[in-house]
Amino acid sequence: MNNPGSDKTFKPPQALAPTPQLYDELVGDGMENLAKATVAEILPINSGSVILDDGCGTGAGTTAVFDAVTDKSNITIKGVDIHEGALEVYKKKAAEHQWPAEAIKADAAKLDSINDDTFTHVIGTAFLFVLPEDGVGSIKEIHRTLKPGGVAVFNSWAHVPNMDPLRVASAKTRPEGTPEIRGGMDKWEDSAFLRGVIEKGGFASDKITMTKRDVYVTATTIQRYATMLWSFIGGTTKAGWLESDAEKWDEAIEIVKAELRKADGFKELDDGRLRLKFVANIAVATK
Ligand SMILES: C[S@@+](CC[C@H](N)C(=O)[O-])C[C@H]1O[C@@H](n2cnc3c(N)ncnc32)[C@H](O)[C@@H]1O
């Protein structure tokens, strides 16, 4: 992809088009494992709990809750998302796995159909960093709809192992002075930023605890992973794709692969897939 702010249309012929299927392949089991690590911070979730999976998407948070709860007969879950397509998948999974879950189409910053003091738990996984104003509006709604003593859990990535390899490939294959590849989520790496956003949403500072957890992600083969990464993110600098990127394509991919192999926690599995270590910031906020 080119930077949306750049008007360049050139794209190396080798670059893969970013389809939802390829994004899924790139993400691997990352969303599920992030959700699992996040929900683990608020266990046990007891019988009688009323849970909001905010920005539920296709249900990684709900899956993690449901897998972790032993008495599944007496919990209720509301999955809220703004995206109809994601909710359709969520509803199908709910029926298939018999989740005690209701899918609600709403903007997380306007939960008008939900009363004050409703939930015992709120899960917001891979959520705040996709929202406008860093999700402060949605945190205010979470604070309003949580019962006193209820807990909300949020996350952001503290470290991703796949951005530095792209920066190194860019620096080594492009002319000096080409703008650096920047991750849109860099500010979220600092746990103080995540904490600050939660405070702005109305939670008291002394009711927020922060932890870091390793999240191992298994994805596709390294050749395909490196090609998808470079295809999706290589052209997102202010300069967009350069004509020289087409000639240097294979060189860039080899650099991305070599740098990925150096990352802490990297492993190539027997079946050829790769395993990467991400680190998550996890925040638990009590009302
Ligand atoms: C990165 S996905 C994470 C989905 C899910 N929580 C998971 O862990 O797989 C972010 C989700 O937030 C949803 N979303 C974005 N803006 C929203 C809003 N204003 N209100 C509710 N959901 C929103 C998106 O549709 C998407 O499903």
Contact between residue 142 and residue 157 where contact means Cβ atoms under 8 Å apart = no
Query: Residue 64: CB within 6 Å of ligand 1?
Result: no
For residue 70, the model assigns a pLDDT of 83
Ligand 1 centroid vs 157 CA: distance in angstroms?
16
pLDDT exceeds cutoff 90 at 231:
yes
Share of the chain above pLDDT 70, in %: 98
Per-residue confidence band for 82, with pLDDT thresholds at 50, 70 and 90? very high
For residue 238, the model assigns a pLDDT of 87
Q: Name the residue with the closest Cα to ligand 1, atom 4.
A: 57
44 prior amide bond cis, ω within 30: yes
Mutate to test the pocket of ligand 1, among 51, 83, 125 (most ligand atoms within 8 A of CB): 83
Ligand 1 centroid vs 56 CA: distance in angstroms?
6
Share of the chain above pLDDT 90, in %: 88
Range 20-286 has CATH code 3.40.50.150: yes
Per-residue confidence band for 1, with pLDDT thresholds at 50, 70 and 90? low
* DSSP one-letter code for 178: P
Q: Which two tokens stand for residue 67?
A: 């897998």
Q: Name the residue with the closest Cα to ligand 1, atom 11.
A: 55
Per-residue confidence band for 268, with pLDDT thresholds at 50, 70 and 90? very high
Contact between residue 39 and residue 48 where contact means Cβ atoms under 8 Å apart = no
Q: Determine the residue type at 198.
A: I
Q: Name the residue with the closest Cα to ligand 1, atom 18.
A: 107
Query: Residue 107: CB within 6 Å of ligand 1?
Result: yes
Q: What is the pLDDT of residues 95-152, one digit of tens each?
A: 999 999 999 999 999 999 999 999 999 999 999 999 999 999 999 999 999 999 999 9
**Phi, psi (degrees; rounded to nearest 5) at 176:** -55, 140
Alpha-carbon torsion angle 54, 55, 61, 63, nearest 10: 110
- Most confident stretch, 70-79, 229-238, 249-258: 249-258
Ligand 1 centroid vs 81 CA: distance in angstroms?
6
What's the whole-number mean pLDDT along residues 194-218? 98
Query: Residue 246: CB within 6 Å of ligand 1?
Result: no
Mutate to test the pocket of ligand 1, among 56, 78, 114, 139 (most ligand atoms within 8 A of CB): 56
Q: Which carries the bigger pLDDT value, residue 20 or residue 265? A: 265
Q: CA–CA separation, 278 vs 220, rounded Å?
A: 16
State how far Cα 238 lies from the chain centre.
24
- pTM, whole model, 2 decimals? 0.93
Those residues with Cβ within 8 angstroms of residue 64's Cβ, 6 or more apart along the chain or in another chain: 32, 35, 36, 38, 39, 123, 125
Q: Name the residue with the closest Cα to ligand 1, atom 16.
A: 131
